[in-house]
Amino acid sequence: MIDLSDVTKRYDDFTALHDVSLHVPAGSLTALLGPSGSGKSTLLRVIAGLEAPDSGTVSIDGEDATRVPARRRGVGFVFQHYAAFKHMTVRANVAFGLKVRRRAKADVRARVDELLALVHLDGLADRYPSQLSGGQRQRMALARALAPGPRVLLLDEPFGALDAQVREELRVWLRRLHEEVHVTTVFVTHDQEEAMDVAEQVAVISEGRIQQVGTPRDLYEHPANDFVMGFIGPVTRLGDTVVRPHDVAIVDEPGPGTREALVERVAHLSFEVRVELTLDDGRDVWVQLTRAQAAELELEPGQIVWIRPSYSNAGAFQAAGSALSVAT
Amino acid sequence: MRVSRGMRLSLRTIALGYLLLLLALPVGFVFYKTFDKGLGAVWDALTSDNAISAIKLTLLMVAVAVPLNTAFGVLAALVIVRGRVRGKALLNALIDLPFAVSPVVVGLALYLLYGRQGWFGSWLLDHGIQVIFSTPGMILATVFVSLPFVVREVIPVLREIGTGQEEAAATLGASAWQTFWRITLPAIRWGVLYGVVLTTARALGEFGAVSVVSGKILGSTDTLPVYVQNRFEAFDLTGAYAASAMLALIALATLLLMTKLQPKEART
């Protein structure tokens, strides 16, 4: 369990965190999601004790840890660029946190073997980090962080330096690992799909402030403000309202609440069809349809149609949300 | 860029010729001249009491200056790169002072401070410690001129490795002391070693500063370079060449030792 209250962090004239308060339940898997420069990594480093807040408090498992140095906080930290100890073997890397605590040799060995099996690096114990792939290095870093039995596991953009396929694999794997180990985990990411996919709770951060905290579904269906709405999933403007592009219905005749629009372009992307239109007031709007819907409407560029907001199909949020993301 | 065969050949000749003329030939010539009068003469020249005293004193310079400047150099580099203290820029600039100031000026400055009429010198003399024209002064001069090497070699390596590994060690429960010995020092070891070699070479060979504060008392306050000059001026060419060759041999041995210690991937 982690509790942050009114944490503020300034660097010269730049305020990285403004009065941030956050509760991370024991045993949960929480994502800190935000664009780069939003303060999410700073927040993680404050929890770890790698940065000291200018004001506010950090407590871990109910104990005030604000003035406790990083090495006594009982946190495991995984860095984006692995921070592997290059001059040590995989085994020595993982054993480091146990050796500095002067644990008995036999215990260290047993614990390291157990962890290497957990992260599927059993056969690579005597390699050096430079002989591992990026994904293997990050798994080693994770085993190293878990070795001393931390109360809290913190991951700073853990998959940020990996290629797309490895990212996807490690994401699934992290979720499974969390189910097995069940340590309170916080990970930082700028990728909304990653956050929504892995985390049970997501805290959206922007400009040093927490915008909203909730389950992935909460955030998608009930965003607290335009920023969260735009960051969590695709949006388009229908007149003065911001809506999800799959919450817009296209009909072939005017009705209550409809607006006239001209079809500009129809793009068939995988399972979704993206329709770009111009409204009667000259503004652009785009709509996401399923292939079946698009086939039924038989849309052609140049065609006049009518559109209106429709929240009836809001249940389809997850599929649509993971297909497209707002550029951040 | 494509370079023709002839062009490549002439570039190689120029580079090698330059090295040969400026480096290999003079050093080689010293060795050649050393053995001009036969091995026996060299042996006699090197085993004379004065020569042995000079060799011992030179090794003492190295034995004091190298550990001192290595410890100080690593510490100063850590402060400059990792520290959050004021005055880092000033420290950084001061460290280059021994590079910038001529060694003779260094010797003179030491003389002014520690000499009979100097600020500290008279007090120290009253307490029975003679610095100038004696071993302490020569050590001071050697430490001064060989100070920047370790710092300058370590700073870029420290910058390059970044703080990630040190932060990881901290979150894993390591104290600052454990982090330094187990993480930072192994990560910068080749930089330190190279700095040590350069410091050694400089401490061995320093002439200007040491010569000012050395009493030039044969068999007592002569280091090898000062002894070489002494022999040269006394028209004892065999002695001068033999001592020179000795100096060059110690320096070469240091270089070889470093190459041996370095792992394959660090060699270029």
> B173 and A148 in contact by Cβ < 8 A?
yes
If one counts every other C-beta atom within 10 angstroms of the C-beta of residue B228, the result is 23
Is-contact B138 B213, C-beta < 8 A?
A: yes
What is the tens place of the pLDDT at every residue in A14-55?
999 999 999 999 999 999 999 999 999 999 999 999 999 999
How does pLDDT run across B46-87, given as a tens digit for each residue? 888 888 999 999 999 999 999 999 999 999 999 999 988 888
pLDDT tens readout for residues A252-277: 888 888 888 999 999 988 888 999 99
Q: State whether B165 and A85 contact (CB < 8 Å).
A: yes
Share of residues in chain A with pLDDT > 90 (%): 66
Q: What is the DSSP string of A198-217?
A: H-SEEEEEETTEEEEEE-HH
* pLDDT at residue B263 in the model: 65
pLDDT at B268: 42
Contacts 24+ apart (CB under 8 A), B178-183: B178/A100, B182/A96, B182/A100, B183/A85
Distance from CA of A25 to the nearest CA of B (A): 21
| pLDDT value, residue B264 | 55
| Residue that is written with structure tokens 């030792």 in the block | B257
Q: How far apart are CA B44 and CA B57, in angstroms?
A: 19
For chain A, the residues whose C-beta falls within 8 A of a C-beta of chain B are 48-50, 69-73, 75-77, 79, 81-87, 96-97, 100-101, 141, 144-145, 147-148
Facing residue for A87 by CB, picked from B164, B173, B186: B186
pLDDT of B212 strictly over 60: yes
Nearest CA of chain A to the CA of B176: how many Å? 9
Instruction: Please determine, for the modelled complex, whether the ipTM score is greater than 0.85.
Output: no
| Confidence at residue B29, expressed as pLDDT on a 0 to 100 scale | 84
Q: Do B171 and A72 touch (CB under 8 A)?
A: no
Q: What distance lies between CA B31 and its chain's CA centroid?
A: 22
Q: Phi/psi zone of residue A131: left (φ > 0), alpha (ψ -120 to 50 degrees), beta?
A: alpha
Please, which residues bridge with residue A55 across strands? A8
Q: Which residues lie closer than 8 Å to A158 by C-beta, 6 or more apart?
A: A78, A80, A138, A142, A170, A174, A187
Give per-residue pLDDT as tens, B110-160: 988 888 888 888 888 888 888 888 888 999 999 999 999 999 999 999 999
How distant is the Cα of B44 from the closest Cα of chain A, in angstroms? 49
What residues of chain B lie within 8 A of the CB of A100, using their CB?
A: 169, 172-175, 178, 182
pTM here is 0.82
Quick check: A323 pLDDT over 60? no
Q: Please tell me the distance in Å from A137's CA to the nearest CA on chain B.
A: 13
Mean pLDDT calculated for residue range A51-67 = 95
Q: Write down the pLDDT at residue A316.
A: 35
